[in-house]
Amino acid sequence: MTENIDPLANIFNERSPKDINDFRNILEEAIEATGANENLPEIGNFLAEVEISKKEDHTLTTDIHVPKGEGPFPILVYFHGGGWISGSPKSHRKICHRFAEAGILVFNVDYALAPENPFPQGFDECCEALRWVVDNASKYNGDSNNLSVGGDSAGGNLTAACAAALIEDNHVNIKKILLIYGVFDFSTMNQSSNDTASESESQDLLMEMMVGSYLGADRDENTLSDPRVSPIHVANKLPPAHILCGTLDGLITGSKLLAEKMNSFGIQNEEFYYENMPHGFLHFEDYFTESREAIDRMVTFLNG
């Protein structure tokens, strides 16, 4: 690590979002200001906004990151983070380029966001995208028999939820999953003792903006424990997993609890907790050497 700093938190601390559109703008500006998507690695081909399906209120698309070479390539379907209300394939372009650079065909999905499209549409579209990838991967020299799914933050939540939901789908055979500082149990979200009172209050407001938009302000215990929302409740249905989180990330508690649950069911998983790393550190190669280290470990896991 070059410095003990948190680029995302610093930007949000300087400018608290007034509403969801402001939140989205701040996140986009943060990605640009930090150079998170600059100096993209060379890959074989890149296709933006390939249409999967069109609905009245949203067009489901995916960016496709094609490796160099002839294939057939192993496949990674990636669900971006952003608190279910923001983020896009564009905000996570470099991360997905890194996987493609390593020889993996990546489908970076632009699923529907809340509050315009609240739960379960985002979840449903991620499942739909997985089925589409299996049907269409051969067009891009992908091996649908070597299919993995991954995502960060909200995308980690969607990864685990969809993998469990599709376990009995004979059409979709998910071999492995990447769970990158994800939300797996809504009852343990953001449990961190490192924040001051003012920082904690600000985080609570941001959390409510995200969770309230996704699940509704009047969500009840049944909603929070729905396995499509808190996939820790179906940990027994998950494929082998690579779980990672930073030690400064409030989501670390849920990551460790999920690993414990998987262990109790005898499901293969590996855990990596990166010292002094904040939420979202994978974006910031220029700030944290741990970013590339984490990517390399995930590639090794997918190729193992």
Q: How far is 285 from 293, CA to CA, in rounded Å?
A: 10
Instruction: Write out the two tokens for 196.
Output: 């001051």
Q: Which residues contact residue 78 at a Cβ distance below 8 angstroms, ignoring those fewer than 6 apart?
A: 92, 95, 96, 99, 106, 107, 108, 109, 149, 150, 151, 155
Place of tokens 């938190």: 9
Section 159-163 average pLDDT: 98
CA atoms within 13 A on the CB side of 300: 7
Amino acid residing at 109: V
pTM of the model: 0.95
Decide which of 6 and 197 is more confident: 6
Residues 203/190, Cβ–Cβ less than 8 Å: yes
pLDDT confidence of 150, banded at 50, 70, 90?
very high
Is residue 126 within 8 A of residue 109, CB to CB? The reply is yes
Q: How many angstroms separate the CA atoms of 285 and 266, rounded? A: 34
pLDDT in tens, 162-191: 999 999 999 999 999 999 999 999 987 755
Q: In the chain, what are the domains?
A: 7-303 (3.40.50.1820)
pLDDT (tens digit, 9 = 90+) per residue, 60-69? 999 999 999 9
pLDDT tens readout for residues 186-231: 987 755 445 544 455 666 788 899 999 999 988 999 999 999 999 9
Residue 95 above 60 pLDDT? yes
User: Lowest-confidence range among 85-89, 164-168, 215-219, 292-296?
Assistant: 215-219
Two structure tokens written together for 263: 């262990």
Whether the CB-CB separation of 210 and 181 falls below 8 Å is answered with no
